[in-house]
Amino acid sequence: MDKPLNWGLLSTAKINQALIKPINASKRTRLLAVASRSQSSADAYARENKIPRAHGSYEALLADPEIDVIYNSLPNNLHAEWTIKALRAGKHVLCEKPIALTLAEVDAMASAAKETGKILAEAFMYRHHVQTLKAKEIADSGVLGKLQLIKGAFTFPLTRVGNYRQIKEMGGGSVWDVGCYPISYARTIVGAEPVEVFGWQVEGPGGSDDSFFGQMRFANGVHAQFDSGFISPSRSYIEIVGSEAVLKIPDPFKPGKKSELYLVRGEKEEKINVSGADLYLGEVEDMCDAILLNKPPRISLADSRANVAAILGFIDSANEKKPIFL
């Protein structure tokens, strides 16, 4: 590699803070620019975060010839539009989850990536962490016996009034924001797509769900249950139940550099220590591998599309008050 890949942040969203450190830490990347809807906002953000360039519009960032990779951290309803624009501007794109809000949007994004020859990947950071890879390895090894059930939850109290996560038209709702994690985790562990989903929701004032409760059935007989929400205390866990043992993952979606899994057989509980890198570094290095080494991204666009399909199935089920077959 002659020079590092230059990254640009498309927006000044709070989630950027999770990416700034790993982009600066990787030997293959450099954080070169940030864009906001005004020059003053971009300038202030760039000064605060020591970013060399500040663009006063999203279009200006996409027109910057030195930018190689765009990190799209815009609200959910803008993911498809600006990802497609970035791809057509000749940029690779790491798009924050959920990658899009409809299957038509995902398909249009995938088509744009194929047409331009640029890499597009969804930023599901937990999928790259060694803890997730270890959990998948254990589930696949047979030590749990026949997989039966995957249970999970991701909730936190959302206190910011008027946040886009509460506005239905902006792709708000807990199932899009945090429910997507246990859905993705279950699909990853099973290694297949659900054939049937059923969901209930508690609507918030913005029309999106404040709480969501879902069940999935897979063709191989595995079931999954999860809840997500903005009005419950902070909770995060995954439990994988087999016929012989249970694997408990106390912090599945935001594991630290050191984390612990618990393998339970009868009365015996075995602690499995896992050491890994910074949580968000994996998705940065995965993009580098895809761009520089022609490796397929760990999270394929087909994988991302299937997660969106499952979420849409859950939303349809909650609205229609019946099971949805996928």
Per residue in 97-151, pLDDT (tens digit) is: 999 999 999 999 999 999 999 999 999 999 999 999 999 999 999 999 999 999 9
Rounded to an integer, the average pLDDT of 51-79 is: 98
Residue 253 lies inside a defined structural domain of this protein = yes
CATH number for the domain spanning 134: value is 3.30.360.10
What letter would DSSP give residue 27?
Answer: T
Band (pLDDT 50/70/90 cuts) for residue 1 is low
- Local confidence band at 161 (pLDDT 50, 70, 90 cut-offs): confident
When pLDDT is averaged across residues 74-86 and rounded to a whole number, the result is 97
Whether residue 164 is found in the same domain as residue 52: no
Question: What would the mean pLDDT of 27-49 be, rounded to a whole number?
Answer: 98
| 242-260 residue pLDDT tens | 999 999 999 999 999 999 9
Residue 321 lies in a domain: no
My answer on whether 166 and 91 are in the same domain is no
The token pair that represents 197 in the structure block: 């989903």
Q: Which of 69, 98, 123 is the last residue of a domain?
A: 123
Confidence of residue 40 (pLDDT cuts 50, 70, 90): very high
What range does the domain containing 33 cover? Answer: 5-123
Question: CA 119, 17, 156 angle in degrees (round to 5)?
Answer: 100
Rounded (10°) CA dihedral 246, 220, 198, 128: 60
Q: Convert the pLDDT of each residue in 263-289 to its tens digit.
A: 999 999 999 999 988 899 999 999 999
189 within 8 A of 114, measured Cβ to Cβ: no
Same domain, 145 and 95: no
> Residue 286: inside a domain, yes or no?
no
Both 166 and 250 in a single domain?
yes
Mark whether 118 and 183 lie in a shared domain. no
4: pLDDT strictly greater than 80 = yes
Q: To the nearest whole number, what is the mean pLDDT of the chain? A: 97
Looking at residues 32-49, what average pLDDT do you find?
98
Q: Are both 82 and 183 inside the same structural domain?
A: no
pLDDT band at 317 (very low <50, low <70, confident <90, very high): very high
- CATH number of the domain that residue 92 is part of: 3.40.50.720
Buried b (16+ CB within 10 A) or exposed e, 275-291: ebebbbbbbbbbbbbbb
Query: Residues 189, 237: one domain?
Result: yes
174, 210 in Cβ contact below 8 A?
Answer: yes
Q: Of 262, 279, 296, which closes a domain?
A: 279
List CB contacts of 285: < 8 A, sequence separation 6 or more: 26, 28, 128
On whether both 134 and 192 belong to a single domain, the answer is yes
Within this chain, do residues 147 and 255 fall inside the same structural domain, yes or no? yes
Query: Looking at the chain, which runs of residues are DSSP E strands?
Result: 5-10, 29-35, 53-55, 69-72, 92-96, 120-123, 147-155, 194-203, 209-218, 223-229, 235-242, 246-249, 258-265, 268-275, 324-325
Q: Is residue 10 part of a domain?
A: yes
Can you read off the two tokens belonging to residue 105? 């949007």
Share of the chain above pLDDT 90, in %: 95
219 falls within a domain = yes
- Domain assignment of residue 142, yes or no: yes
Residues 92 and 147 grouped into a single domain: no
**Alpha-carbon span 130 to 176, nearest angstrom:** 24
Average pLDDT for 144-170 = 92
How many CA atoms does the CB half-sphere of 27 hold within 13 Å? Answer: 2
On whether the pTM is more than 0.95, the answer is: yes
Per-residue pLDDT averaged across 293-303, rounded?
98
- State which of 105, 123, 141 marks the end of a domain: 123
Does 221 map to a domain?
yes
Is the domain of 106 the same as that of 145? no
Cβ(229)–Cβ(208) under 8 Å? no
What are the beta bridge partners of residue 238? 152, 249
Over pLDDT 70: what percentage of the chain? 100
Report residue 158's pLDDT band, with 50, 70 and 90 as the boundaries.
very high
Q: Report how far residue 225's alpha carbon sits from residue 289's, in angstroms, rounded to the nearest whole number.
A: 34
Q: Is the pLDDT of residue 10 over 80?
A: yes
How many domains does the structure of the chain reveal?
2
Distance CA 159, CA 161 (A): 6
Q: Is residue 260 part of a domain?
A: yes
Tell me the three state secondary structure of residue 220: coil
Both 88 and 145 in one domain: the answer is: no
Q: Tokens standing for 109? A: 């994004």
